[in-house]
């Protein structure tokens, strides 16, 4: 049952991810954003399968909720037209078309090579689960300093965004 769910969610994630970057029917950024929501939601399903319940909820709430609303808001604000197919010009562009997929294949090759070299040992029966209680305890004891730093980072980001979106940006 869990394996079937893994394959279902994995397939959904990959399919929606593919539709984010290359949708054959529409090149509108809004469509990409909607498929990104689907991909992130199925990733949340995978997190739940991995017993990371809190992270699954956070994934759906923060990513599929807040971040994607921000994306859609900006897309609507900018009124971006559907991207027309531009011709790839010049030698650099043609080289890019060749080397882009080549680098992706190279990364995948390296990955699979290192994977076949030493398979990591896995324990099939999990005991500790990623609920809110254990994660909260860890966050407020062992990881207290990073937690506080992240809160400062959020404040800095907020001030930065307000400054950047001022009308007379110098």
Partner 1 sequence: MKVGFEHYLILSALLFALGLTGVLVRRNLLVIYMSLELMLNAANLSLVAASHFSPGHSLDGQVFVFFIITVAAAEVAVGLALIVALYRRRQTAHVEDLTTMKL
Residue with tokens 């959020």: 154
> Counting every residue, how long is the chain?
170
Min dist CB 166 to partner 1, Å, is: 9
- Work out how close the CB of 94 gets to partner 1 at its nearest, in angstroms, rounded to a whole number: 14
Token digits of residue 163: 């400054």
Residues 63 and 108 sit within 8 Å (Cβ to Cβ) = no
Structure tokens at 161: 């965004």
- Smallest gap from residue 124 Cβ to partner 1 (A): 7
C-alpha span between 170 and 151 (Å, rounded): 28
């Amino acid at each position: 049952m869990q394996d079937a769910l893994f394959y279902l969610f994995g397939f959904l994630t990959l399919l929606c991810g593919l539709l984010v970057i290359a949708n054959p029917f529409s090149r509108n950024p809004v469509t990409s954003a909607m498929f990104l929501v689907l991909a992130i939601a199925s990733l949340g399903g995978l997190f739940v399968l991995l017993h990371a319940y809190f992270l699954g909820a956070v994934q759906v709430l923060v990513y599929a909720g807040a971040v994607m609303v921000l994306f859609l808001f900006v897309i609507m604000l900018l009124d971006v037209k559907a991207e027309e197919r531009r011709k790839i010009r010049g030698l650099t562009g043609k080289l890019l078309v060749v080397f882009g997929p080549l680098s992706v294949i190279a990364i995948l090759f390296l990955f699979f090579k290192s994977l076949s070299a030493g398979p990591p040992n896995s324990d099939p029966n999990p005991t500790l689960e990623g609920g809110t209680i254990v994660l909260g305890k860890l966050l407020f004891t062992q990881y207290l300093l990073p937690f506080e730093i992240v809160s400062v980072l959020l404040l800095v980001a907020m001030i930065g965004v307000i400054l950047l979106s001022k009308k007379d940006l110098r």
